[in-house]
Amino acid sequence: MPADGAEPVVVPADLWERPEMLTALTKWDIGHLFRLVRQYAGVSQTRIGVAVGFSQGKVSEYMKDKAQVTALDVFERIAEGLGMPDPARMALGLAPRILTGVPLPPTPIPTRDGTPASGLLNVEQVVVGSRQPDDACDVDVLTLAWIAGRLDAPMDRRTLLLIAAGLTAESAASIANPWDRLTRALAGPQSLDEDTVERLEARTIGFHRLEYELPASALYQGLTSHLNELSSLIHGAPDRFRRRLAATAGEAATLASWLAWDLKQPMQSASFDRVSALAAKESGHPIIQACTYAYKSYATQDRAALDAVRQAQHFLPKQGDDATRAWLLFLEAEHLAAMGDSQAVKLLGQAEEAFGRARPDRERAWTRFLDPERVTAFRLSTYVRLGDDRRVTDACQQALNSTDQDTDHKRTAIIWADIAQAQFQIGNSAAGVTYARRALESAQRTESTWGLQHLSTVEKTLTGQKDQAARELLGDLISTRRALGSSPA
């Protein structure tokens, strides 16, 4: 007979679905969780401790509510030890192990001869229309993100195509070599080194950069694989790497939450929000929460959006991080303008001052998007919402001058939508319809939920238009919105 502690803990499947268990998970109440496991699985404190890597005394402390779990890697260890299914993991704020029915292997490190399906991206998804269907081939999205994160120059869709083409060539087989060390690191924390941590940090940056160009559906599963790898490494990592790994996990989790929202998966989005909150605390980088709340502002409107931005600002340091500071000021100006508050103009000036001090390409993984073109778009958006016709005309011309007519990324839909609304405001309805059509087509190509939502004001404006082209566009907007479904926000 095996010793009591050696027997594995088998938790009844229906226990994870019980209301009291879901309450314990969402409140991170590990003591309550352990009490439920003991009650319904009939196991001792010793067996629970062996399963999750605690002493019997430590389990007793948790069960008596004399101690609390706050570390991300400890939550991960408990989830693994008790065999939590994905819904329970997500309720606890951890990344799922299985997405859309496709199992993720325990160590999905990319190799050119064995990349898991969860980490592959069809090149047809990378650049729409760039290849014929019979020329389609697969790209390793994890390695693609790593390369994108190491680029110093701005990455547009053309650059992305060149990278993807290189990754699909036989000569790219050698790219797998840098990941050998990461594979070994997942087998044991003693192998973790500076090189591995830097590669993971670069890959997180790369996912944020790819988000500008690629649909959420193309990135979500690969990003979740990346988060699973980070979770595995944080557990037992040396102190000199632990905080860095937690920080890059938090930066990745904020993006995963945004992608989940874009894919209309609100439960997963909320779970990733909890991951980012844990990681922000553990890493000592509260500004990660600023990014989380900034993304939340995109998912809401009016006062709720403004409140989210102001909540984000509470996580800013007193000095530094000017790119994030500028981003939040631009967002606050936009939301105030939408509410008709002329204070938005003052905030716009403050945002531009902060942007003048910022180094977006060097500060945070999420700040790479903030460039002069995006600043011009914020300026236009604010004046459009204020209904300031004089400033709208100038800002519209600046936006047209700064926007590459051949560029097709997610934010293009937003810029075209604002230019369209500006044209309607100054009485040029024909131009308004033209740019609104461009915005809709860009949103459709890039599968941008936010781009489509940004067209809501244009949709209201089109309702009063009698022109045939305007009526046709209105019909297309309505049918596209219905086809994609409403946002879960």
Average pLDDT for 88-93: 78
User: Who has greater pLDDT, 483 or 456?
Assistant: 456
| Among 90-104, 109-123, 424-438, the least confident range | 109-123
176 and 302 fall within a common domain: no
166 and 295 fall within a common domain: no
Q: How many domains does the chain have?
A: 4
**352 domain-assigned:** yes
Asked whether residue 37 carries a pLDDT value surpassing 70, the answer given is: yes
**290 domain-assigned:** yes
Q: What is the pLDDT of residue 1?
A: 37
Asked whether residue 485 carries a pLDDT value surpassing 80, the answer given is: no
Asked whether residue 127 carries a pLDDT value surpassing 80, the answer given is: no
Amino acid 248 reads T
Q: What is the pLDDT of residue 385?
A: 84
373: confidence class by pLDDT, cuts 50, 70, 90: confident
128 and 263 fall within a common domain: yes
Asked whether residue 86 carries a pLDDT value surpassing 50, the answer given is: yes
For residues 231 and 225, what is the distance between their CA atoms, to the nearest angstrom?
A: 10
User: Who has greater pLDDT, 104 or 241?
Assistant: 241
**489 domain-assigned:** no
User: Who has greater pLDDT, 464 or 39?
Assistant: 39
394 and 245 fall within a common domain: no
CATH code: domain of residue 391: 1.25.40
Residue that is last in its domain, among 282, 313, 329: 282
Helix 429-446 to helix 456-463 angle (10° resolution) is 140
Q: What is the pLDDT of residue 459?
A: 82
Asked whether residue 112 carries a pLDDT value surpassing 50, the answer given is: no
Asked whether residue 217 carries a pLDDT value surpassing 50, the answer given is: yes
**68 domain-assigned:** yes
Average pLDDT for 184-194: 65
134 and 80 fall within a common domain: no
For residues 20 and 15, what is the distance between their CA atoms, to the nearest angstrom?
A: 9
75 and 87 fall within a common domain: yes
Q: What's the first-to-final CA gap in the chain, in angstroms?
A: 54
181 and 168 fall within a common domain: yes
* φ and ψ at residue 120, rounded to 5 degrees: -100, 145
For residues 168 and 143, what is the distance between their CA atoms, to the nearest angstrom?
A: 11
Tokens 């095996």: give the residue: 2
Residue that is last in its domain, among 366, 381, 407: 366
pLDDT tens across 342-358, in order? Answer: 999 999 999 999 999 99
In 3D space, the residue among 230, 213, 324 whose CA is nearest the CA of residue 275 turns out to be 230
179 and 244 fall within a common domain: yes
229: confidence class by pLDDT, cuts 50, 70, 90: confident
For residues 120 and 329, what is the distance between their CA atoms, to the nearest angstrom?
A: 37
46 Ramachandran zone, left/alpha/beta (phi>0; psi -120 to 50): alpha
Asked whether residue 21 carries a pLDDT value surpassing 60, the answer given is: yes
Q: What is the pLDDT of residue 367?
A: 92
User: Who has greater pLDDT, 228 or 290?
Assistant: 290
User: Who has greater pLDDT, 101 or 385?
Assistant: 385
* Secondary structure class of 241 (helix, strand, coil): helix
pLDDT tens across 162-187, in order? Answer: 666 555 544 344 444 455 556 656 66
* φ and ψ at residue 139, rounded to 5 degrees: -120, 140
* φ and ψ at residue 78, rounded to 5 degrees: -65, -45
Amino acid 79 reads A
102, containing H or E segment: strand 102-103
Asked whether residue 369 carries a pLDDT value surpassing 90, the answer given is: no
Instruction: Note down the domain range covering 326.
Output: 286-366
Asked whether residue 89 carries a pLDDT value surpassing 50, the answer given is: yes
246 and 108 fall within a common domain: yes
pLDDT tens across 428-470, in order? Answer: 888 888 888 888 887 777 777 777 777 877 888 888 777 888 8
361 and 255 fall within a common domain: no
Q: Where are the alpha helices (DSSP H) in 387-448?
A: 389-402, 410-425, 429-446
Asked whether residue 212 carries a pLDDT value surpassing 70, the answer given is: yes
User: Who has greater pLDDT, 187 or 370?
Assistant: 370
Asked whether residue 319 carries a pLDDT value surpassing 60, the answer given is: yes
234 and 344 fall within a common domain: no
Per this entry, what is the length of the chain? Answer: 489
- Please give the mean pLDDT across all residues of the chain: 79
pLDDT tens across 278-291, in order? Answer: 999 999 999 999 99
355 and 465 fall within a common domain: no
Asked whether residue 208 carries a pLDDT value surpassing 90, the answer given is: yes
409: confidence class by pLDDT, cuts 50, 70, 90: low
Average pLDDT for 80-86: 87
**449 domain-assigned:** yes
For residues 243 and 260, what is the distance between their CA atoms, to the nearest angstrom?
A: 25
**195 domain-assigned:** yes
Residue that is last in its domain, among 232, 267, 282: 282
473: confidence class by pLDDT, cuts 50, 70, 90: confident
Average pLDDT for 231-249: 87
